[in-house]
Structure 1
């Protein structure tokens, strides 16, 4: 029986794109320019700890995107700041991650998505992110591959809220059984999509689910 899937949605950070060379490397080198004595590995660890907690407690909503990230950056560097004003450091980091220079596409992503377009699938990004993602995808030259880009801060809700999945269905004029979502977060992407009635693939490692892939090229076996 032919698959009913007509639309593939892809998470952005951690799936389609990743910070390059790492959050810790970019944050660390930038912080040292402002006189902070930090180690990249420790900054990286603090970032993911603080960002994870911030995601639970606060949503990245339109108009408040910058304040969300200001909170994260200031919390990361607070132990090292002493009398240093962190606002200039934050502004530079905000701008750095608004462009493609410090992001890299997942290996094989562009080629795989191009092939899926040729096979007739519609493609969309579905990301808990802010509006800077649009310029990042433009710089990485993948925006034209996508029929739509759905960003949580612009929609006013985040995965795994069912409303963000319903918004995609309305805009793309698809029913839940026609959509497959790919993402690296077990709770927000995999469980969120399945709870909305979509098909889902978890991305990355370690293996947690039978429906999981570790590379974009594996998508071609799921979407013939």
Structure 2
């Protein structure tokens, strides 16, 4: 994760059409059209440009619902935190970027690492304050998906693209993905605290590729960190698009993978 990780005339109302069931699962209409086109061999759409999509979590798939410094300051007022948000933000970045003496930052629930970050950012070492901050980020309402992310994941899955999360994160990640209703979209969820490797280590990418049975040359990774994501992926021959630079929306990711044209 880089330092810089709902549902918006009774007489005239008609219920929306139910999802179309295909092979035991619901697919979108565009996914249905894609499958029908491929089955008919009519030459309407190419196969996906990539067989697998790997996604970073914090800072890419998962965005904080409000700025971290604002949250730290808001919760901290009850514990005597008086630092301005600008200073909290600077302290957070400083702590996050500092060398970590252990093999993994996120061991288990990640509390040892996050205690240091919160204390450095706010100057507060109160255990109750830390726990409230930690628990805040353990729930899906502290996070949001980028616009169009859930639709893109569904479209790619319908098109046969294998999906995986590859993240430097602690054990809260699986619950967060479930809270945001995207956990079931993924064929693999690879978390550094569970597998014992952190990006840019090649092993974490290889584990994900093995779990989705896709070769590195036929997959693409999307993440927000030049070293952890891009350099790590490229080192094993895996293409990487930097979030916010190479791709800025999930619709763009979808367009680049589901290239249209004559077969």
TM > 0.5 fold call: yes
For the aligned residue pairs, the C-alpha RMSD in angstroms reads 2.0
* Aligned length in residues: 213
Equivalent position to 1:113, from 135, 140, 153? 153
CA contact (8 A) 1:157 1:163 kept: yes
- C-alpha distance in 2 between matches for 1:115 and 1:56: 42
Considering fraction of residues, name the structure with more helix: 1
CA contact (8 A) 2:188 2:208 kept: no
Equivalent position to 1:32, from 72, 77, 80? 77
- C-alpha distance in 1 between matches for 2:68 and 2:137: 10
CA contact (8 A) 1:7 1:180 kept: yes
- C-alpha distance in 2 between matches for 1:54 and 1:28: 25
Gaps of 5+ in 1: none
CA contact (8 A) 1:126 1:151 kept: yes
Q: Structure 1 stretch 163-172 or stretch 94-103: which is displaced more? A: 163-172
CA contact (8 A) 2:68 2:89 kept: yes
Give SS of 2:105's match. Answer: coil
| Residue pairs, 1:83-98, within 5 angstroms | 85-98=125-138
CA contact (8 A) 1:169 1:176 kept: yes
CA contact (8 A) 2:62 2:145 kept: yes
Shift of 1:122: 1.0
Residue number in structure 2 paired with 1:180: 220
Residue number in structure 2 paired with 1:140: 180
Residue number in structure 1 paired with 2:247: 213
CA contact (8 A) 2:87 2:121 kept: no
From the CA coordinates, give the structure whose radius of gyration is larger: 2
- C-alpha distance in 2 between matches for 1:101 and 1:45: 25
Give SS of 1:213's match. Answer: coil
- C-alpha distance in 1 between matches for 2:57 and 2:145: 9
Judged with a 3 Å threshold, the aligned counterparts in structure 2 of structure 1 residues 59 and 101 are, in CA distance, closer, same or farther, namely same
Q: Deviations over 1:23-50 (max 9, x none)?
A: 0111110111112212223212221221
Judged with a 3 Å threshold, the aligned counterparts in structure 2 of structure 1 residues 55 and 12 are, in CA distance, closer, same or farther, namely farther
Give SS of 1:123's match. Answer: strand
Shift of 1:186: 1.1
Per the normalisation by structure 2, the TM-score is 0.75
Judged with a 3 Å threshold, the aligned counterparts in structure 2 of structure 1 residues 13 and 102 are, in CA distance, closer, same or farther, namely same
| Residue pairs, 1:1-224, within 5 angstroms | 5-54=50-99, 59-63=104-108, 65-78=110-123, 81=124, 85-204=125-244, 207=245, 212-224=246-258
Shift of 1:54: 4.8
